[in-house]
Amino acid sequence: GWSQGFSVGQMLRIVRVMLTMNRAGRRLYRAQQRQTSGTEGGGAAPNQFHRDPLASRSIQEWVAEQCADSEVQQFFAGMVRLLGYSADVDRLSADAALIQFHLGGAGVHYLHGGWQTIVEELVAANRAAGVQLHFNSGVADLIDASAGAAGVNAGEFDYVVLACDPRRALKTGHLEHLV
């Protein structure tokens, strides 16, 4: 089973960290639920959300604070990848990972056909609605969108979606004008 290769001491550390993760995730999830249902109209105004201090720390940092054992840390990195669908434990915020860990405790459901199924359905729905999609198109610069249209390279578009590393997007400039 999953416990093969761990010493009794490591198993005890794993159980302790799991309990701590679940308690923290439950606390964060409940706080999030209170925020989203706390105002009239079904949700909090965007500026009223309280960000937990864990939002500015990675899950890797949080786990390292809970347990110094590198093998136990690797175990939890694998758990986060499984339950949170994110492989980058150095950048995934601790609050998001802990909430997902709490929710994932009830079981993980996988999409039949994989995540590509969602992508294909979104592409088909957008094309059926007349949306022009441009894949694998490099972006050299973004042009001021305050006039109602965003320009990318030589083209002009109503909306621009950048699906790339945020650091690359920041290098393009003019992000404050994107919708």
Instruction: Tell me: pLDDT of 49 over 80.
Output: no
- 19-43 per-position pLDDT tens digit: 898 899 899 889 888 887 765 445 5
Pick the more confident residue, 84 or 59: 59
pLDDT at 47: 46
Residue 93 gets the label, from left (phi > 0), alpha (psi -120 to 50) or beta, of beta
- Where does residue 109 fall: left (phi above 0), alpha (psi -120 to 50 degrees), or beta otherwise? beta
Higher pLDDT, 2 or 164: 164
CA 118 to chain centre: 17
Q: Where does the pLDDT of residue 102 fall: very low under 50, low under 70, confident under 90, or very high at 90 and above? A: confident
Query: Could you tell me the two tokens for 130?
Result: 């007349």
pLDDT tens string 126-148: 999 998 887 776 666 666 555 55
Its pTM stands at 0.54
Q: Is the pLDDT of residue 179 over 50?
A: no
Q: Which position has the higher pLDDT, 75 or 111?
A: 75
The pLDDT value given to residue 129: 94
User: Looking at the chain, which runs of residues are DSSP E strands?
Assistant: 142-143, 150-152, 155-157
